[in-house]
Amino acid sequence: MRVVSSVALHVFKESVRDRVLFGLVGFAALLIGASYLIGQLTAGQDVKIIKDLGLAAIATFGLFIAVFIGIGLVWKEVERRSIYALLSKPVRRHEFILGKYLGLALTLLVNVAIMTVALYLVLAYLNTHFTDNARAVWPAPAADPGMLRAIGLILLELLVVTAFALFFSTFSSPFLSAALTFGLWIIGQFNADLRNFEAVVESPAAGYLARGLSYVLPNFAVFDIKTQVVYALPVPFSQLMTTTAYGLAYIALLLTGAIAIFARRDFK
Amino acid sequence: MRWRIAIVLVCLMAAVVGLQAVQVRQGGPLAGSIENVLYVRSPEAMKRLALSYDLVLADIYWIRAVQHFGGARRSADPNRRYELLYPLLDLTTSLDPYFRVAYLFGAVFLSEPPPGGPGRADQAIALLERALDAPSRQWEFAQAIGFVHYWWRQDYEQAAAWFQRAAKYPGAPEWLVPLAATTLAQGGSRESSRLLWQEIARTADEGWYRSSALHRLRQLDAMDELDRLRAVVEAYRQRVGSAPAGWADLQRAGYLRGTPVDPAGAPYRLAGGAVSLDPASPLNPLPTEPARLR
């Protein structure tokens, strides 16, 4: 466990030193701030628009961090040949993979936390500009703690995406890993359509195949409860728990796969 | 070396800013440039393309709808058109079915008669009917449908029916019940119109909507004042035998103390014995009243 945590800490420090990472966080904060200005362009709904933009910015910048850093986690070590030095030390291969993953997970957690604080600060500031009359018709308060549920699921989704990026980076090039990860993320948004594919095709076999794939491929749409939190619609606790379990199970599956592939790789 | 690069960068930046200023001075895009284009009109297709960004896209389409309406409304072009307004509102509310303001304001935008709007009360009602499945405050949408029937279609039976329906939704305000009764009994009267706008002005949570209601109330006040002034002009004509040439004649005859001004501060116009709003008054154009109540 000590080895895993020291690898994770190393990844985190390296990510923090990475200028792209700082740039992304700064840009996210800037976007959230700019969303206040965008709110001025429209007739009403400033708070709703800022919530929408803030949550989307957190998801988007987190996605870019997860993919572009995740795909280089293993590949960079192989490319730099530092993997030889690393594996010659008392670091087992599965510890290396787990440490890399947890390091990026920590980076994502810190980034999402910073973006969340920035979003809540903008919303709390904006809240002071409205009368009680205007606030009375909002479905949820401006700095609604309920939004944390959506942010929590965004983080979980990012952790699944990171697991995919790491999995692909154990056996393919960064370009291919990025393409595969983004591709699966997009397919994962259409999971419900795959399930209903048999309604639009004549071939029962194609329908069954699509339905089967819908169970195997990741369903990223289930992590999206932004509409529910923005409009204070009910989100059953059981659904949150099922989604969390689903995300964790997928992460465990991908990490196991990554470890299995990495364990068989020959670096001679 | 560093100084040289810095000087080159500053010079290039100045060139970029200068050339942009020249372009702005030349008058923006060339004739034939396409500004008002909506590439995807199908809400179903857009929902698919949105991935998990449906709320943000709805916001963008809403901002576009507001800008399209405002831009066309302020345009000096006599043939101004609002052809993208309904598709933009349709996309907005399809991507975000709970976008309350898009339904309420969108219906106001769509109902406004030309040249201030497209005058499509039918589309406004269609838009609002889709909002009735909202999780809360459904009464607002039912009341807004009644309002469109009342104000823009002058169909008082339908308006009263919708006000009654609105009153039955949970959380509906108490004033909807008397409003429905008044509309049915004396629909189209200025008093019932005033009651409706007063309630909107009192309860509106958005500044734009409230000022729109206050504007309508000022128009109703101006219509009352115009009626009074016309009666004064008629009384003068009966007494003197000819119409007054201007407000000064009425002042000299003791009918008025000064030049009357409308609620927006513009003086009323008296020409050829006819009283009207000054063409420059911001209260123009006054709403049309049903013939049977004039």
CB contact burial A37-57 (16+ within 10 A = b; e otherwise): ebbeebbbbbbbbbbbbbbbb
- As for the ipTM of the complex, it is 0.81
Q: Are B59 and B103 in contact (CB under 8 A)?
A: no
Instruction: Encode pLDDT of A139-165 as tens digits.
Output: 888 889 999 999 999 999 999 999 999
Q: Do B63 and A186 touch (CB under 8 A)?
A: no
Query: What is the pLDDT, as a whole number, of residue A39?
Result: 59
Burial of B240 (0-12, 13-18, 19+ CB in 10 A): exposed
Task: Say if residue A137's pLDDT is above 80.
Answer: no
Structure-model confidence comparison of residues B187 and A149, the more confident one = A149
Task: Say if residue B95's pLDDT is above 80.
Answer: yes
Rounded average pLDDT over B152-161: 88
Query: What is the pLDDT, as a whole number, of residue B26?
Result: 75
227-286 of B, contacting A, C-beta below 8 A? none
CA–CA gap between residue A61 and residue A201 (Å, rounded): 37
pLDDT band at B293 (very low <50, low <70, confident <90, very high): very low
CA B41 to chain centre: 25
Q: Do A52 and B63 touch (CB under 8 A)?
A: no
Structure-model confidence comparison of residues A28 and A232, the more confident one = A232
CA–CA gap between residue A17 and residue A14 (Å, rounded): 5
Q: Are B146 and B160 in contact (CB under 8 A)?
A: yes
Domain of A173 in residue numbering reads as 2-264
pLDDT band at B28 (very low <50, low <70, confident <90, very high): low
pLDDT band at B2 (very low <50, low <70, confident <90, very high): confident
Task: With beta carbons under 8 A apart, name residues in chain A contacting B54.
Answer: 227
Helices and strands (DSSP H and E) totals, chain A: 13, 0
Q: What percent of chain B has pLDDT over 90?
A: 27
pLDDT band at B294 (very low <50, low <70, confident <90, very high): very low
Instruction: Encode pLDDT of A197-220 as tens digits.
Output: 877 777 888 888 888 888 999 999
A232 backbone dihedrals φ, ψ, rounded to 5°: 55, 40
Query: What is the pLDDT, as a whole number, of residue B23?
Result: 80
Rounded average pLDDT over A97-115: 91
β-sheet bridge partners, residue B267: B261
CA–CA gap between residue A222 and residue A157 (Å, rounded): 9
CA–CA gap between residue A243 and residue A159 (Å, rounded): 13
Residue of B nearest to A185 (CA): B51
Structure-model confidence comparison of residues B163 and A28, the more confident one = B163
**Residue A59 near chain B (CB below 8 Å):** yes
Number of domains in chain A: 1
CA–CA gap between residue B164 and residue B177 (Å, rounded): 6
CA B170 to chain centre: 28
Query: What is the pLDDT, as a whole number, of residue B290?
Result: 52
Rounded average pLDDT over A49-53: 88
CA–CA gap between residue A160 and residue B70 (Å, rounded): 44
Q: Do A193 and B48 touch (CB under 8 A)?
A: yes
Query: What is the pLDDT, as a whole number, of residue A198?
Result: 78
pLDDT band at B205 (very low <50, low <70, confident <90, very high): low
The structure tokens listed for A261 are 């592939």
Rounded average pLDDT over B226-247: 90
pLDDT band at B15 (very low <50, low <70, confident <90, very high): very high
Task: Say if residue B34's pLDDT is above 60.
Answer: no
CA–CA gap between residue B134 and residue B93 (Å, rounded): 11
2-61 of B, contacting A, C-beta below 8 A? 48, 51-56, 58-59
Q: Do B55 and A227 touch (CB under 8 A)?
A: yes
Q: Do B56 and A53 touch (CB under 8 A)?
A: yes
**Residue A222 near chain B (CB below 8 Å):** no
Query: What is the pLDDT, as a whole number, of residue B96?
Result: 92
CA–CA gap between residue A248 and residue A245 (Å, rounded): 5
Structure-model confidence comparison of residues A129 and B254, the more confident one = B254
Nearest Cα neighbor of A227 from B125, B52, B228 is B52
Rounded average pLDDT over B254-277: 89
CA B84 to chain centre: 17
**Residue B82 near chain A (CB below 8 Å):** no
Three-state SS string over chain B comes to CHHHHHHHHHHHHHHHHHHHHHHHHCCCCCCCCCCCCCCCCCHHHHHHHCCCCHHHHHHHHHHHHHHHHHHHHHCCCCCCCCCCHHHHHHHHHHHCCCCHHHHHHHHHHHHCCCCCCCCCHHHHHHHHHHHHHCCCCHHHHHHHHHHHHHHCCCCHHHHHHHHHHHHHCCCCCCCHHHHHHHHHHHCCCHHHHHHHHHHHHHHCCCHHHHHHHHHHHHHHHHHHHHHHHHHHHHHHHHHHCCCCCCHHHHHHCCCCCCCCECCCCCECEEECCEEECCCCCCCCCCCCCCHHHC
Nearest Cα neighbor of B94 from B142, B67, B133, B66 is B133
Task: Say if residue A178's pLDDT is above 90.
Answer: yes
**Residue A230 near chain B (CB below 8 Å):** yes
Query: What is the pLDDT, as a whole number, of residue A131?
Result: 79
Q: Do B56 and A56 touch (CB under 8 A)?
A: yes
Nearest Cα neighbor of A36 from A137, A128, A144 is A128
CA–CA gap between residue A88 and residue A35 (Å, rounded): 50
**SS3 call for A44:** coil
Task: Say if residue A20's pLDDT is above 80.
Answer: no
Query: What is the pLDDT, as a whole number, of residue A132?
Result: 80
The structure tokens listed for A68 are 């572009």
